Structure 1
């Protein structure tokens, strides 16, 4: 049974239940539990600097915390034993302190009985072990890079906290990796959420900002800045995970633009109902492209020429028209964009989302509309300089 099946009602209770069950039911947590069983559960010591893991949950941090706990237990044992033999609290505490610290100072009271000597020897043995264990944690912190990992994690989380209007990519698989490459090439800020630690090295090598975690978890989405993000791309290989991520993100941020990947045609409707603005089926797109190459090869070559930004420097772009723009309130014929800048207006997308294609000369451009334009890179730059500066 999944942890959500018995989750108590109420958003706070659900979040607490999810956090509690995600630890001991991690591999079986719906959705995608079958795929998750195949993934190795990461050791906290192996997580890279970008992983959203508390310092005290790391190997060295837990060792230091356990060491301090052991020292506290030994101190309590030693002080209690000396006080039971008639010593005052301060005398007992001082005796235990100098004993486990091995400074070699003179005893507070003579150890003239067998039980006092046995108790002191036990305190020395346990105290030296606890102190040594704690010191080993500090050495591990410095020599194994745990401290650097923690500082790196804090830097990444701070940089994510400063992002606004960025893109969140959930899943760094085949599709997610290509999306990230495109975003990086366009210079757009983005954050990747990936659960498999085996892919962390590749993302780190490419300089991508990423978080190791479950994108279906509200806390992970918040760490990625979902409340400030402009777009969420959910590219998980499983449709169930994409639906769940879409539902969670839409609940957390009603205004975010969600682009969801689907593998099965039947999932498109579910993703739309879950709150996805756009649903992409890579398999269907690939099949349509093959058919187009067979039936209209010249047209496909032209589209590839535009979309791949070849040596001819032809680009397609969409330009939002804001209030006060020189184009606002003008028709395409009166704006005379083609003669002034050399670009071609292919379509107009109204503020209500309606797409006008082909764009006629008498179509009026209003504030909030977007123009889909085509032209050489220099002409697009000229358009932006004339109408957007």
Structure 2
């Protein structure tokens, strides 16, 4: 039985003992010839159980059944109060100790993370962001001021160890604990536009190489956030409008993309694979990489190092160069394994 449930049961027993003591003193007192009221009976019960007073309710306490009642009440009440006090102490101490150990364990986990993605805000939009990042196999750190939101996500992904920081993302210390200096990206989806701006400015100052994605529903705020250091500013109204138009004119394409992203049997994603100088695929023709046959990856496009030129549906004889980025479609696990080999 948990301490919380035990405390609830003991609280109920204490209430019953006080009620029983009050009624006992009231009826037995009147039976003994006294005229005690309910308040007098409650007062007598309280000083009896707490041993804080010596006042006796005469003539009841001079009669044998009055003495027996007081003894039974005292032993029963003191026993329950003692167990309640020890359980309450254990609850407070263990809860504090659990919090201390949790904090240390989480801090150690956060200190080890590198190239992770921080998501500030676990509301409706933030939850979708976290779901997609986890589904794509990325390391995610959740930052939110509400424990309930974080616990909801943790319960939905009980099989994963998801680090998080409980606190306001606009606090510099919270971002430091989340590892903003070592992160490769941050998604800012806080409900307050001013907090989004402040976190964007702070994150850019802490980590100039950080990729910052934030949200704004106002055109003026979009420009302000871009100047503050955001790489991309997402307007939910614009995205929603484009989605609705696509549902109208190209429903099969939208259905295909939805099934690809949310398929239960196999999770497919369109991912990007940057080719560094040490990658074994550099200098090879696309046909010789065996990406299609071995990794089950379809190369949709290739972007050069400058990002200015994109080759769509590249031919098999296309030679891969250092700095190229492959845009591929395939299973998440295949992309993850290939990334590990390319490191």
> What is the correspondence of 1:275-354 to structure 2 with a 5 Å cutoff?
275-309=229-263, 311=265, 314-330=268-284, 332=286, 343-354=297-308
Shift of 1:369: 1.9
> What is the correspondence of 1:355-366 to structure 2 with a 5 Å cutoff?
356-361=310-315, 364-366=319-321
Structure 1 355/286 Cα, relative in aligned 2: closer, same or farther at 3 Å?
Answer: farther
Q: Which runs of 5+ in 2 are unaligned?
A: 1-85
Q: Hey, what does 1:97 align to over in structure 2?
A: none
Shift of 1:384: 3.6
Within the candidate set 197, 201, 209, 2:163 is matched to: 209
Q: 2:295, 2:338 within 8 Å by CA — same for their partners in 1?
A: no
CA-to-partner distance for each residue in 1:142-183, whole Å, 9 max, x for gaps? 545111111111111111111111111111111111222223
User: TM-score, normalized by length of structure 2?
Assistant: 0.63
Structure 1 199/338 Cα, relative in aligned 2: closer, same or farther at 3 Å?
Answer: closer
Shift of 1:214: 1.9
Are 1:147 and 2:97 counterparts? yes
> What is the correspondence of 1:162-201 to structure 2 with a 5 Å cutoff?
162-201=112-151
Mapped partners of 1:175, 1:189: distance in 2:
18
CA-to-partner distance for each residue in 1:331-350, whole Å, 9 max, x for gaps? 54776865786643212233
CA RMSD of aligned residues (A): 3.4
User: TM-score, normalized by length of structure 1?
Assistant: 0.56
Mapped partners of 1:262, 1:348: distance in 2:
31
Q: Secondary structure of the residue that 1:327 maps to in structure 2?
A: coil
Structure 1 218/382 Cα, relative in aligned 2: closer, same or farther at 3 Å?
Answer: closer
CA-to-partner distance for each residue in 1:287-329, whole Å, 9 max, x for gaps? 2111101011122222223333454665432222121334323
**Over alpha carbons, which structure has the higher Rg?**
2
Structure 1 338/166 Cα, relative in aligned 2: closer, same or farther at 3 Å?
Answer: closer
Shift of 1:226: 0.7
Structure 1 328/187 Cα, relative in aligned 2: closer, same or farther at 3 Å?
Answer: closer
Mapped partners of 1:382, 1:222: distance in 2:
28
Structure 1 149/294 Cα, relative in aligned 2: closer, same or farther at 3 Å?
Answer: same
Q: 2:113, 2:179 within 8 Å by CA — same for their partners in 1?
A: yes
Within the candidate set 180, 195, 207, 1:241 is matched to: 195
Q: Which runs of 5+ in 1 are unaligned?
A: 1-135
Q: Secondary structure of the residue that 1:266 maps to in structure 2?
A: helix
Shift of 1:236: 1.0
Q: Hey, what does 2:328 align to over in structure 1?
A: 373
